[in-house]
Chains A and B, each alone.
Chain A
Amino acid sequence: MLDGRTTLDLVIGFLGLLMIFAAIWSVLSKRLLSSVLLSGAVSLLASLVFLAVGAPDVAMTEAAIGSALTTMVFLYSLSRMKAEQDAHEDGGAS
Chain B
Amino acid sequence: MMKKLLLLAAIALLAFALWPFVRDVGLAEPGELATAYLERGPAELGTANVVTSIVVSYRGFDTLGEVTVLFTATAGVGGLLARRKSGHGKKKAAERGATDASEILKTASRLLSPLLVLFGVYIFLHGHLTPGGGFQGGVVIATAVLIGLLADPEAGLAHGVMHVVEGLSGFAYVALGAVGLWFTGVQAGFLDPRFLPLGELGRLASAGAIPIIYSLVGLKVGAELTGILDAMKEDAE
Interface positions of A (Cβ within 8 A of B): 5, 8-9, 12, 53-54, 56-57, 59-61, 64-65, 68-69, 72-73, 76-77, 79-80, 83, 94
Contacts and interface: CB of A to CB of B under 8 A. Distances in A.
Contacts of A9: 25-26
A85 to B, nearest CB: 13
B48 interface: no
Interface residue range, chain B: 20 to 34
Contact of B136 (A12, A61, A72): A61
B125 interface: no
A64 B236 contact: no
A61 B142 CA distance: 13
Contacts of A64: 136, 139-140, 143
Q: Is the interface of B mostly helix, strand, loop or mixed?
A: helix
Interface in B26-59: 26-27, 49, 51
A76 B232 CA distance: 6
Contacts of B236: 76-77, 79-80, 83
25 contacts: A8-B27, A53-B25, A54-B26, A56-B132, A57-B51, A57-B131, A59-B131, A60-B131, A60-B132, A64-B143, A68-B139, A68-B146, A69-B142, A69-B143, A69-B229, A72-B229, A73-B228, A73-B229, A73-B232, A76-B232, A76-B233, A77-B232, A77-B236, A79-B236, A80-B235
Contacts of B133: 57
A72 B146 contact: yes
Contacts of A65: 139
Nearest to A62: B136
Contact of A69 (B27, B51, B139): B139
Contacts of B213: none
A28 to B, nearest CB: 14
Contacts of A5: 26-27
Nearest to A5: B27
B190 interface: no
